């Protein structure tokens, strides 16, 4: 996960969220993580189609949000908002 690794390497938050400003599930994911006391970093894909394509290639996930758990010095792909809720991580 080269793109994700590059984006995650210099941040010190619990989660990384690839988001878009038109996405209600992105807002819901932020609210969900915040309500459980987790920190997160947003990478906005609204106007960055090239990065969006690269994220799709790396993850196979075609919609936003695309959420990664960065805790424990690992990068763990979660998926979207539904996957976050179902994962039992929080």
Burial 17-51 (b: 16+ CB within 10 A, else e): bbbbeebebbebbbebbeeeebebbbbebeeeeee
The percent helix, strand, coil of the chain (3-state, each to 5) is 45, 20, 35
Report whether pLDDT(5) > 80: yes
Segments making up each domain of the chain, as ranges? 2-87
Mean pLDDT of 21-38: 97
Mean pLDDT of 32-50: 97
Mean pLDDT of 14-37: 97
Can you identify the CATH homologous superfamily of domain 2-87?
A: Glutaredoxin (3.40.30.10)
**Local confidence band at 1 (pLDDT 50, 70, 90 cut-offs):** low
CB 10 within 8 A of CB 61: no
**Does the predicted TM-score (pTM) go above 0.85?**
yes
């Amino acid at each position: 996960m080269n793109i994700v690794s590059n984006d995650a390497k210099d941040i010190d938050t619990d989660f990384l969220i690839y988001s878009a400003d038109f996405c209600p599930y992105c807002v819901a994911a932020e609210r969900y993580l915040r309500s459980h006391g987790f920190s997160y970093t947003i990478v906005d894909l609204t106007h960055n189609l090239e990065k969006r394509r690269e994220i799709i290639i790396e993850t196979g996930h075609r919609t936003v949000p695309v959420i990664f758990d960065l805790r424990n010095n690992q990068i763990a792909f979660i998926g979207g908002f539904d996957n976050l809720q179902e994962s039992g991580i929080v």
